[in-house]
Structure 1
Amino acid sequence: MKKVFMGVKLRRLRAERGLSQIALAQALGLSPSYLNQLEQNQRPLTVSVLLKISRALGVDVQHFSEDEEARLVAAMQEALADAPEPVTLPELKETATQMPALARALVQLHRRHADTLARLEAMALKLGDDRADLPAPTLMPFEAVRDFFFSHQNYFDALDRAAEGWAAQARAGAGLLPWLTERLRSAHGVGVRHSAGSHDGKRSFDTATRTLTLSGELDEGQQAFQLATQLALLEMGQAIDALINVPPFDTDAPSRHLARIGLANYVAGALVLPYGEFLQAAEQWRYDIELLAQRFGVGYETVCHRLSTLQRPGAPGVPFFFVRVDRAGNISKRQSATHFHFSRVGGTCPLWNVYEAFSQPGRIVPQMARMPDGRTYLWVARTVSQRRPGYGAPGKTFSVGLGCDLRHAPRLVYSKGLDLRDTEAATPIGMGCKVCERTDCRQRAFPFIGRALAVDENQSRFVPYAFADPAKV
């Protein structure tokens, strides 16, 4: 155990229990002078003293855990990313160690700010409809699941490590696909068949015959993903249910079902792209998405999705935001390992490079983008297309975006040629016109809701700003 100084935390525990230094010293079997030195950070906290404190004060040893401090430091770094004066890592560590309550309060205030932004967007949705009796918007099942993943920083340690263990077993055998097929057969009595031609879904499971049918259109990587998803549902059902036995999933069946599928898909991604091996390759190749896709035999979108989940305590990757949109601006997927101003109401900024990518299909488009609050990000976007074989069969095209805070950009190959110090060169973007306060944007389609209402003095009511008499505003 390295030297750990936790004087402030120790003084706080003593004060909460109404003990004097002499009384606590007697309870711990220490001299008052030695305890005083511990509380003044003149002596480090040893393992033997820590165990005595745990027994005497009835506190969990985890109360002094470095893991908890690391999480607090990471959370404070996120909360203070746009602070007017940079806060150094030693200062953050000192705060997390000596004043954890202050650190948690700071993080909580930051989260309240994020919640306020979310309510602002919900208000924008309501005000954007001309019906006065429009009820307050409620979360759809996919939104509830998305918020659940966000609350866990898009990382689930127990599931991720279990999937990594499966991957190690598969590597020791004949390979991933044969291992998955045999595991389903031997452990669960499930047979696997492949449908001929197109299939309505990628995977279907007949519980009566214990048969798993995969679409004939899937490549090997996609087959492995679907087999792993089914294995997760069968073998990790209890672990998954333990995670989702929380509101709103305890009373909302559609959201609960969607959350189970989402966590099973998470396991599948962690199996196909095992954490340690994948993170090592990502760091080695500076997060080059196409190289990673080639190395692991999966698609561009799959790599982007996995990169947004690399937040294992003690071994984190770059905290990414992942988004998938169509040409109409509909966001069909979004995941974040940290905070980003994703819009809940659609109509996201047309200046964002995820839309520019549609004009350059198949090409990676980098962008430095600055939000109205001053935060600057590095985004890379590229189109991905899916189509069924056969003449005249309709296809699907999306733009996939992957972004991170600018402070992480030097770790990415996509920062080549960019002047990361010149934040003024970043493209000004926003969450969407209704909630973006930029007044000089020529792409604005709607007024900012903070300016969208004005008082008509003659009628004593609120009217849309665009129709108000400027002389009376």
Structure 2
Amino acid sequence: MSNKLFLGHRLRRLRRDHELTQTDMASSLSISPSYLNHLERNQRPVTAALLLKLAESYDVDIRAFAADGGHRTGPDELREIFSDVLLQDLGVPRYELAELANNAPSVADAIARLYAALKEAGREGGVAAGGDARAVVTPEIWVRDYIQAHRNHYPKLEEACETLSGALRDPLSVAEPLRRRLRDAWGVSAQVVPQAELGNLSQSFDQDRRQFLMSSQLKAENRTFALAYQLALLEFAGLLAQMVGEAEAPDEGIAQLLHMHLANYAAGAIMMPYGRFLAACETSRYAIDRLTGEFGANVEQVAHRFTTLSRPGQRGVPFFMLRVDPAGNISKRYAGDQFPFSRFGGTCPRWNLHAAFQAAGQVVTQLIETPDGQKFFTVARTIERPIRTELGAGLLAIGLGCPIDHANKLHCAEGYDLDKAPVTPVGPACAICPRLDCGYRATPPAGRLLAVDKDRKTISPYPFVAG
């Protein structure tokens, strides 16, 4: 098996992002333009020495660059798409999907976006005749892809939030200086009011009256977050508008959702400014409960902040995070450098994320291994919804994970013998999972010949021929 790195499309994209000609980039890397041309066309592998030069010249994170940062459509996602009943009869071989993902990543991304839109259209009953096909590109899918394309990290916003947070710092609380800043700098009064006054809202800003209202049913940490969110909308109005404009969202609704996401991101960065938060993470060994106390945040806010620590030269542990409800619906999905789960489906039932619901309030840990041999240390725990309603608070579960070679940096991994602890094999969506003897398999593997024998029942309900 070859370990050569053919990273032509990534080199080409990096060069174009910096608006360089091949001659310009070749000069900065001390190579010839013809050699760079061969590299971009995948006719030569990228060497370790060249990776180091890229890191030095363009502030490239070597591991993320070599792994494509985990945010482009990869062969696994394409296999999932082409295993769909609509396409599986084409029998597209794996090597062709790998070539597409590696050599034409933008085309692969386009296929993934169209497939996601098609899936959503199926759930909604399709697109009406004569309707705008863009309507099936759901806001959630578009914004999620945008977040992944930026590795859930926005340098300009981070810098602005860190500066503001430094000006607000108060040793006694986080919420009070936020409230004062709203009042003194923006003439906005912040109040907590009964839920009945807000109807179905949890918070509301009245531009004319300069009033910011928060529901009395919001927990203390969520009120603090709400104050930081409203302050971010005011303090960074120009920057947020610029970022949303540059994103070129397909419609106003999606643009507004992205704007809200960026303001949420800023709220977390104000409460947990990058440098101080990363230092606290490293000191506490990423102990979530200690960090919630130190920064006045809740478990979900801290877990989400973990996934944003991608500043060049100041990177944290590369976490991925999911949030699910008891029915298995995924409402948040943030990837670190690598993300081992299905892009279009749910999670593998062998990952114990859902076991957190049977152990409410406890931390559930697990070592998992994906079919390609990658190992991850994962943590799952329940959280309450941010606001109580007539139906009660209700529980959600969050799952965090990181590559096993980072697990020794985590407080929750203390006492683990990471070399000897049992490892649970997991996979992506069942339709594309290559594992043969899985008793949890819910669907037949697409494109595989079943090996069912009426005289012999197997542990897996859908045995299939390997290879």
TM-score by length of 2: 0.71
State the distance in 2 between where 1:64 and 1:195 align. 57
Contact 1:177 1:220 in 2 (8 A): no
Contact 2:330 2:346 in 1 (8 A): no
Matches within 5 A, 1:113-124: 114-124=73-83
Q: Read off the aligned partner of 1:221 and give its amino acid letter.
A: E
State the distance in 1 between where 2:398 and 2:237 align. 30
State the distance in 2 between where 1:66 and 1:348 align. 34
Cα deviation, residue 289, structure 1: 1.2
2:353 aligned counterpart, secondary structure: helix
Identity of aligned residues (%): 35
| 1:282-324 deviation line (CA, Å, top 9, x unaligned) | 1111111112122222211111111111111111110100111
Q: Read off the aligned partner of 2:410 and give its amino acid letter.
A: L
**1:254 aligned to 2:274?**
no
Counterpart residue number, 1:49: none
State the distance in 2 between where 1:119 and 1:274 align. 37
State the distance in 2 between where 1:176 and 1:387 align. 18
State the distance in 2 between where 1:127 and 1:325 align. 28
Matches within 5 A, 1:186-205: 186-197=184-195, 199=198, 200-205=200-205
Q: 2:166 aligns with which of 161, 165, 168?
A: 168
Matches within 5 A, 1:285-364: 285-364=284-363
Q: Read off the aligned partner of 1:182 and give its amino acid letter.
A: R
Contact 1:173 1:179 in 2 (8 A): no
Q: Read off the aligned partner of 1:245 and give its amino acid letter.
A: G
Gaps of 5+ in 2: 1-25, 38-48, 89-114, 120-135, 452-460
Contact 1:370 1:429 in 2 (8 A): yes
Cα deviation, residue 10, structure 1: 2.4
Q: CA RMSD in A?
A: 3.4
| 1:214-261 deviation line (CA, Å, top 9, x unaligned) | 111234432221111112222212212322334551x32222111100
2:396 aligned counterpart, secondary structure: strand
State the distance in 2 between where 1:405 and 1:187 align. 44
Counterpart residue number, 2:369: 370
State the distance in 2 between where 1:124 and 1:16 align. 36
Larger Rg: 1
| 1:181-234 deviation line (CA, Å, top 9, x unaligned) | 232233333222221246522211122322211111234432221111112222
1:409 aligned counterpart, secondary structure: helix
**1:9 aligned to 2:22?**
no
1:382 aligned counterpart, secondary structure: strand
Contact 2:341 2:427 in 1 (8 A): no
Cα deviation, residue 124, structure 1: 4.8
Counterpart residue number, 1:446: 443
Inter-CA distance 420–438: structure 2 relative to 1 (3 Å threshold)? same
Counterpart residue number, 1:282: 281
Counterpart residue number, 2:393: 395
Contact 1:330 1:347 in 2 (8 A): yes
State the distance in 2 between where 1:207 and 1:126 align. 51
Contact 1:126 1:136 in 2 (8 A): no
Inter-CA distance 169–126: structure 2 relative to 1 (3 Å threshold)? farther
**1:136 aligned to 2:118?**
yes
State the distance in 1 between where 2:409 and 2:171 align. 35
Inter-CA distance 139–339: structure 2 relative to 1 (3 Å threshold)? farther
Contact 1:144 1:248 in 2 (8 A): no
Cα deviation, residue 72, structure 1: 4.1
Contact 1:325 1:332 in 2 (8 A): yes
| 1:265-294 deviation line (CA, Å, top 9, x unaligned) | 000001111111111111111111112122
Cα deviation, residue 452, structure 1: 7.4
**1:74 aligned to 2:74?**
no
Contact 2:341 2:348 in 1 (8 A): no
Contact 1:363 1:383 in 2 (8 A): yes
Counterpart residue number, 1:244: 244
Inter-CA distance 119–13: structure 2 relative to 1 (3 Å threshold)? closer
State the distance in 2 between where 1:218 and 1:354 align. 26
**1:213 aligned to 2:213?**
yes
| 1:359-382 deviation line (CA, Å, top 9, x unaligned) | 111110010001112111000000
Counterpart residue number, 2:109: none
2:402 aligned counterpart, secondary structure: strand
State the distance in 1 between where 2:281 and 2:171 align. 25
1:161 aligned counterpart, secondary structure: helix
1:245 aligned counterpart, secondary structure: helix
Contact 2:357 2:382 in 1 (8 A): yes
Q: Read off the aligned partner of 2:32 and give its amino acid letter.
A: R
Cα deviation, residue 389, structure 1: 6.0
State the distance in 2 between where 1:334 and 1:111 align. 12
Contact 1:383 1:400 in 2 (8 A): yes
**1:266 aligned to 2:265?**
yes
Q: Read off the aligned partner of 2:77 and give its amino acid letter.
A: A
| 1:396-442 deviation line (CA, Å, top 9, x unaligned) | 2111111001111111122223332248x310111221221212100
Inter-CA distance 347–173: structure 2 relative to 1 (3 Å threshold)? closer
Contact 1:369 1:377 in 2 (8 A): yes
Contact 2:29 2:54 in 1 (8 A): no
Gaps of 5+ in 1: 1-5, 18-40, 42-62, 80-106, 455-465
Q: Read off the aligned partner of 1:73 and give its amino acid letter.
A: I
Cα deviation, residue 139, structure 1: 3.8
Contact 1:122 1:344 in 2 (8 A): no
TM-score by length of 1: 0.70
Inter-CA distance 388–287: structure 2 relative to 1 (3 Å threshold)? closer
Counterpart residue number, 2:225: 225
Inter-CA distance 359–125: structure 2 relative to 1 (3 Å threshold)? farther
2:394 aligned counterpart, secondary structure: strand
